[in-house]
Amino acid sequence: MFFQKLKTPGIAHVSYVLGEKEAAIVVDPRRDVDAYLRLAHENSLQIQFILETHRQEDFVIGSLELARLTGAKIVTLDHPLFGHSDIRLQDGEELELSGLKLRALHTPGHTPESTCYAVYLDEAPTVAWGVFTGDTLFIGEAGRTDLTDPLKTSEHALQLFDSIRNKLLPLGDQTLVWPAHGSGSVCGGNIAERDESTLGFERTTNPAFELTRDEFVAAKLHERIPRPPYFTLMEKLNLEGGAALAKPWSSIPWLPPKKFASELQQGLVLDTRDPEAFAGGHVPESVSVWLKGLPVFGGWVATETTSVYLVLADAGDAESAILALARLGIDRVEAILAGGFDAWRDAGLPISQSRTIAPKELEASHSEFAILDVRDDVEFEDEGHIEGASHLYVGYLEEHLKKVASSLREKSSVAVVCSVGHRAGLATSILRRHGFARVANLLGGMTAWQHLKLPVSKGKAQSITTPDIEGERK
């Protein structure tokens, strides 16, 4: 028996390798499949099946590529939204692997094709050992239900509620829960930080079980998690089994500052250093996306057609940065700045700086600053915000710049706020790109603000662009 979780950093995705004797399955592999191959080799396992729980939206899957390299069969529910599988199971049908059985459970709600797989061991053929729950049931949360059609959020919430109650709950309290995402994923609202749970523990703590049907639907309608723009591309690629990596990352050129400068005119510069370093000095017009945020926010600022130019804190970050983008289908990384920002700086090339501000300093000079909170709706409303703050999620900033401008009114400066300063750094860089001259990133964000017991408001604010965005999202 071999069992290992593989987490994909930044997107809180979890894939699984389950081996029994010489055979193994991989559940929900990501685009870069080397890690699965290595695990199999080191543990003398043959990957025989690749199971998909649903058509992932937040990363490109690696099913086809892994199948090509190993000869494994791709296994899914028999549903039109799985466009490419070799073995298509009916609801309740079982797959066998060296005595171990995996039973497919159709659990629509998050998406129509969503499938869970209950695992039964030889020694207890009727008692589920564990269940791969995909995005149907997370630890402490259920999947979001607004993705396929925001207008049908409540209908899908009802489906999901029933799937969880009728398909998962009967597996019993003892069942281990193995979801496709953990805390921090954009695929669920409030996933717990812990990675280990059971159906029985979820039954007593997870809102999906604690709420009534109506309460559950209301909660889902209240969720309003941002929908990253790259989801559409992911759905398209994953319908057909995903895509192999476009090229080895080592083939991307590293350009010296002047050459980098001359080429980047046609593209977007992403700076993956920390917000403080970015504030201290950066390539003009560059966008600040800290390294650990790149796996998500890279997809908010670039698409598969964007020419990306990277500024890294360290040459050793190249592989993870490029993979983070590749998992979002962003393959056109044109160049990396050789020598990093230091080389740029020392070459006398133009430099921009932006401002940071500490909480007490902002509190003291409150009157000079318009405050723009770029967290998501729930964070803003439920966790509290600075009195008088405008609100617009960082991802929607670029399309609503005029409204942002008008909302700031007569204030000469803007303080951008998020939870600790990363998204505010991104927002700061976007505003600066678009001509906002005096923008400061609140260091430590609301986390520091609240540690200092500075005053906060709760509840719905006058969101800058509420009408349009709601329209888009409905």
Show contacts with a copy of itself in window 125-184 (CB under 8 A).
Answer: 127, 129-130, 140, 172-176
Decide if residue 196 touches a copy of itself (CB under 8 A).
Answer: yes
450 is an interface residue for a copy of itself by CB under 8 A: yes
* 30: helix, strand or coil: strand
Which of these, 20, 76, 28, lies nearest to 45 by C-alpha position?
20
Q: Which of 402, 452, 458, 474 binds a copy of itself (CB under 8 A)?
A: 452
Nearest to 94 by CA among 86, 105, 102, 85: 102
Site for a copy of itself in 25-84 (CB under 8 A): 34, 37-38, 40-42, 44-46, 69-71
Q: What's the min distance (Å) between Cβ of 341 and a copy of itself?
A: 7
**Both tokens assigned to 81:** 């939204």
Judged by CB under 8 A, the chain residues 316 through 375 that form the site for a copy of itself are 318, 336, 338-339, 341-343, 345-351, 353, 356, 358-360
Q: Give me the least distance between CB of 14 and a copy of itself, in Å please.
A: 14
CB of 273 to a copy of itself, least distance (A): 7
- Residue 194 lies near a copy of itself (rule: CB under 8 A): yes
Which span (83-91, 116-124, 149-157, 406-414) binds a copy of itself, by CB under 8 A? 116-124
Query: Which of 444, 461, 464, 465 is the binder for a copy of itself (CB under 8 A)?
Result: 444
Q: Residue 213 CB, nearest distance to a copy of itself (Å)?
A: 22
- Separation of alpha carbons 172 and 439, rounded Å: 54
Asked if 458 touches a copy of itself (CB under 8 A), the answer is: no
CA separation for the pair 296, 9 (Å, rounded): 10
Q: Number of residues in contact with a copy of itself, rule: CB under 8 A?
A: 88
Side chain identity at residue 322, one-letter code: I
Select from 6, 401, 420, 456 the one that contacts a copy of itself (CB under 8 A).
420
Terminus-to-terminus CA distance in the chain, angstroms?
Answer: 46
Q: How far is the CB of 158 from a copy of itself (least distance, A)?
A: 25
How many Cβ atoms are within 10 Å of 412's Cβ, its own excluded? Answer: 10
Q: DSSP states of 156-214 as a string? A: HHHHHHHHIIIIIGGG-TT-EEEESB-TT-TTBSS--S----BHHHHHHH-HHHHS-HH
Q: Which is nearer to a copy of itself, 451 or 458 (CB)?
A: 451
191 or 404: CB nearest a copy of itself: 191
The residue with tokens 């906002």 is 436
Best CA proximity match to 133, nearest among 88, 93, 214, 187: 187
